[in-house]
Amino acid sequence: MSGHSKWATTKRKKAVIDSKRGKIFTKLIKEITISAREGGGDSAGNPRLRLAIDNAKAANMPADNIERAVKKATGELEGQIYSELTYEGYAPAGIAIIVDVATDNKNRTVAEVRHIFSKHGGSMGESGSVAWMFNKKGVITLPTQGKTEDEIMEIILDAGADDMQTEEDYFEVQTSLENFENVRKALLDKKLTVENASLQWVAKNTISIKGEDAEKVIRLVETLEDNDDVQNVFTNADFLD
């Protein structure tokens, strides 16, 4: 079992609010579009697209929106072409940050991301400057649904999961990239609702921060996340109460 920062719970609640505002739909549509363009529009033969569609459904995205995004990606409808990029940098207090983006204008996005870092007391770094502090892992979030920690652990360990963090009303499961789909499928086969499943940059070691430093980092992270081109932001910060 791992410890867990309060920020993880805060971000989860924020994602629920964003989904109600429709804001998260933009990020999900981009992921569907990129997945379908790269691997084809048939989700049965495209695991990344299948995952993107499942996450969209979990966020209550209308089926018409999903279908339209796939058609734009496959050329049946006119649509934008997005490029995936990853930026690295530092926030105040030496906190490492990784930013995944999906953009139709690389020059605009890098300028905006650099400006956000600078405005909030951080700095962008070269490729590889902080990525070595993280591992790419599968992360699956699911509500407790009346299940105990032991019941979920039995399911996920048999499927090859690495770890699980338990909060008041949800579980967060971590897996290797190789076992990610096996664990996700094992949970779905047990008729459990998966709130979100994605590949994420998980810090090998976290740095505890609080007070003014924590506030500065949170402002930087939230401003990055509010940028239309930013898909995800990851840090090695452990935000204390």
Residue among 103, 105, 176 at smallest CA distance from 137: 176
Domain that holds residue 225: 84-125+206-239
Handedness of CA 145, 225, 101, 125 (dihedral sign): negative
pLDDT at 48 over 80: yes
**CATH number of the domain residue 55 falls in:** 1.10.10.200
Tell me if 1 is assigned to some domain.
Answer: no
pLDDT at 240 over 50: yes
Q: Between 6-21 and 23-39, two packed helices, what is the crossing angle to 10 degrees? A: 90
Task: Read off the pLDDT band of 12 (50, 70, 90).
Answer: low
Is the domain of 172 the same as that of 197? Answer: yes
The reported pLDDT for the residue numbered 25 is 87
